[in-house]
Structure 1
Amino acid sequence: MKMLIKKITTCWFIHLLIVWFVTVSYVVISYVYEVSLHGNYHFNQDGSPVSAWQYFLNHTFRYDMLVLAFALLLAEINYQILFKMLKWALFILSCLIFAFVAFVILALGHPRTIEVFGLLSGAGPILFMALYALVYALVRDYFYQYNRKKDLDLQHSQNELDALKAQLNPHFLFNSLNYLYGTALKENAMQTADGVDKLSDLLRYTVNGMQHNEVALTDEIHFIKNYLSLQKARIPQKKSIKVSVEINVAEEGFKIAPLLLLTFIENAFKHGISMDEECFVDLCIHVKNGWLNLQIVNSIVKTSSQLKHSNTGLATTQKRLELLYPDNYSLKLDDNHTSYSASLKIKLNI
Structure 2
Amino acid sequence: MKRRIVPVSLRPLLFVIVLTALLTYWGWLLYRLVGPQLVQELPDLGSLLRYLLGWLLLLLLIGALAYLNYRFAYRRWMHSAKTRFYYWSWLAALSWLLFEALQVRTDREPTFVDENILVTLLLMGLISLYGFIADSLQTRRQQQLLIQQKTEAELTALKAQINPHFLFNALNTIFNEAQRSDNQLVADQIEQLSSIMRFTLQESARPLISIEQEFQFLEKYLALQRARLPDLDTLQLRTQLDWDGLPAQLPPLLLIPFVENMFQYGLSFQQPSRLDLDVAVENRQLRMRVVNTLGSAANQKGGAGTGIKNTRQRLALLYPDRHELTIQQTDKLFTVTLRIDL
What residue in structure 2 maps to residue 279 of structure 1? Answer: 273
Select 1:291's aligned residue among 285, 289, 306.
285
Select 2:203's aligned residue among 191, 209, 233.
209
Q: 1:213 offset after TM fit, Å?
A: 1.4
Q: 1:203 to 1:88 in 2, by over 3 A?
A: same
What residue in structure 2 maps to residue 155 of structure 1? Answer: 154
Contact kept, 8 Å, 1:244 with 1:282, in 2: the verdict is yes
- The amino acid of 2:224's aligned partner reads L
- The amino acid of 1:250's aligned partner reads D
- Corresponding position: 1:347 with 2:341: yes
Q: 1:305 offset after TM fit, Å?
A: 2.9
What residue in structure 2 maps to residue 118 of structure 1? Answer: none
- The amino acid of 2:233's aligned partner reads K
| Structure-1-length-normalised TM-score | 0.52
- The amino acid of 2:236's aligned partner reads K
Contact kept, 8 Å, 2:246 with 2:283, in 1: the verdict is no
Identity of aligned residues (%): 25
Distance 1:313 1:328 in 2: 21
Select 1:332's aligned residue among 311, 314, 326.
326
What residue in structure 1 maps to residue 27 of structure 2? Answer: none
Contact kept, 8 Å, 1:300 with 1:340, in 2: the verdict is yes
Q: 1:189 offset after TM fit, Å?
A: 2.3
Distance 2:298 2:203 in 1: 30
Alpha-carbon deviations, 1:113-162, whole Å to 9, x = none? xxxxxxxxxxxxxxxxxxxxxx9xxx9x9799556523333235436866
- Corresponding position: 1:316 with 2:310: yes
Determine helix, strand or coil for the equivalent of 1:201: helix
Gaps of 5+ in 1: 5-79, 96-134, 167-172
Alpha-carbon deviations, 1:50-100, whole Å to 9, x = none? xxxxxxxxxxxxxxxxxxxxxxxxxxxxxx9789674324676999xxxxx
Q: 1:222 to 1:164 in 2, by over 3 A?
A: closer
Contact kept, 8 Å, 2:277 with 2:291, in 1: the verdict is yes
Q: 1:150 to 1:305 in 2, by over 3 A?
A: farther
- The amino acid of 2:277's aligned partner reads L
Q: 1:336 offset after TM fit, Å?
A: 1.4
Contact kept, 8 Å, 1:217 with 1:252, in 2: the verdict is no
Determine which structure has more spread, i.e. the larger CA radius of gyration.
2
Select 2:187's aligned residue among 168, 186, 193.
193
Distance 2:7 2:144 in 1: 14
Distance 1:321 1:218 in 2: 20
What residue in structure 2 maps to residue 88 of structure 1? Answer: 15
Contact kept, 8 Å, 1:328 with 1:346, in 2: the verdict is yes
Q: 1:325 offset after TM fit, Å?
A: 1.5
Q: 1:347 offset after TM fit, Å?
A: 1.8
- The amino acid of 2:149's aligned partner reads K
Determine helix, strand or coil for the equivalent of 1:310: coil
Q: 1:309 offset after TM fit, Å?
A: 5.7
Distance 1:152 1:160 in 2: 12
Contact kept, 8 Å, 1:283 with 1:295, in 2: the verdict is yes
Contact kept, 8 Å, 1:218 with 1:252, in 2: the verdict is no
Distance 1:214 1:321 in 2: 13
Q: How many residues align?
A: 215
Q: 1:193 to 1:248 in 2, by over 3 A?
A: same
Q: 1:321 offset after TM fit, Å?
A: 0.8
Determine helix, strand or coil for the equivalent of 1:238: coil
- Corresponding position: 1:263 with 2:262: no
Contact kept, 8 Å, 2:155 with 2:314, in 1: the verdict is no
Q: 1:163 offset after TM fit, Å?
A: 9.7
- Corresponding position: 1:304 with 2:298: yes
Distance 1:150 1:255 in 2: 21
Distance 2:160 2:189 in 1: 28
RMSD: 4.0
Gaps of 5+ in 2: 23-132, 166-170
